[in-house]
Amino acid sequence: MRSRIFLSALVALAPASCLLNWDSLREPDGGAPFDGSIDAAPPIDASNEATTTDASDASTDATTCSLELVINEVQADGLQGPSDEFVELRNGASCGGSLFNWGLRYSSASGSSPSQLWTGQAGDTIDAHGYVILGGYAFQAPGDASVLGRISTDLNGSLAKAGGGVGLFDPGGTLVDGVAYETLTTSTHPFIRPANAGVDGGAPNPPTEKSIARTPDGMNTNTNATDFQVATPTPGAPND
């Protein structure tokens, strides 16, 4: 009995450094104690968390759409005189886009060096299957239509009504579409389609208060004489 009391007192008076170090019972690699604590978290199975991406799905639905612009209608002389003129652009694509730095140029019946009539500004756009109007100084858009830009700055106008042509250029300066209307005095007008059509291969001349329009709307065989017909003007709307 005395020996037990003596032993208990001895343990109580022993310094902490002499007490049993439980960390010494850990595995050499620093693992859990030998008693197998129930609080230890099970290892994570990385294979259960992994997700895979099928590269074939990454761009399956991706589509590329570019503007498909043509000169759709031209009026050279209206009720208000020479500057009551317009050029309508049509987008045949299923997407809209910016018209920034697109350009419209004019060349006379003799095929003069093309002059810039209009340059698209930042914020100028065209809708999918939409239209924009580039109007002369005196031109007024009908109904809910609006004029995107002006192609003349005074009452003299820019488009001669007895022969000439206009060309549409993309931002890189490439001719995208053109139409020349008779009477032409050169067989190499820069905007006639096709390029070898000659002096008699242009679209018909637009009479006063009339236009020449792609008929049916948007028709483009790349032949001015076939694609354009004299029409009642429909700026900003499909051609009849």
Of the candidate ranges 53-62, 148-157, 186-195, 231-240, the one whose mean pLDDT is the lowest: 53-62
Taking the model in full, what pTM does it have?
Answer: 0.75
Answer yes or no: is 146 within a domain: yes
H runs (alpha helix) in the chain: 2-13, 46-49, 224-227
| pLDDT band for position 189 (cuts 50, 70, 90) | very high
Q: Kindly report the CATH number assigned to the domain that includes residue 224.
A: 2.60.40.1260
Position 62 scores a pLDDT of: 53
Answer yes or no: is 21 within a domain: no
Position 9 scores a pLDDT of: 46
Query: Which residues face 175 on adjacent strands?
Result: 169
Residue labelled with tokens 């070898």: 196
Name the token pair of 193: 């389609």
Answer yes or no: is 181 within a domain: yes
Answer yes or no: is 7 within a domain: no
Q: Which domain holds residue 154?
A: 69-231
Q: How far apart (Å, rounded) are the C-alpha atoms in residues 91 and 166?
A: 17
Name the token pair of 189: 């007008």
Which pLDDT tens digit goes with each residue over 160-186? 999 999 999 999 999 999 999 999 999
User: How high is the mean pLDDT of the chain?
Assistant: 84
Q: How far apart (Å, rounded) are the C-alpha atoms in residues 11 and 147?
A: 102
**Cβ neighbours, 10 Å, residue 237:** 16
Long-range Cβ contact pairs of 194-198 (< 8 A, separation 24 or more) = 194/222, 194/223, 197/223, 197/224, 197/225
> Is 223 a residue whose pLDDT tops 90?
yes
Average pLDDT over every residue of 55-68:
64
Count: domains in the chain: 1
Answer yes or no: is 180 within a domain: yes
**Cβ neighbours, 10 Å, residue 182:** 21
H runs (alpha helix) in 14-125: 46-49
> Is 22 a residue whose pLDDT tops 50?
no
3-state secondary structure of 237: coil
Kindly report the CA angle at 223 between 118 and 168, in degrees rounded to 5?
A: 15
Answer yes or no: is 183 within a domain: yes
Q: How far apart (Å, rounded) are the C-alpha atoms in residues 27 and 129?
A: 75
> Is 101 a residue whose pLDDT tops 90?
yes
Name the token pair of 157: 């106008």
> Is 49 a residue whose pLDDT tops 70?
no
Looking at the chain, the whole-number percentage of residues with pLDDT higher than 90 is 72
> Is 194 a residue whose pLDDT tops 90?
yes
Answer yes or no: is 38 within a domain: no
Answer yes or no: is 61 within a domain: no
What letter represents residue 28's amino acid?
A: P
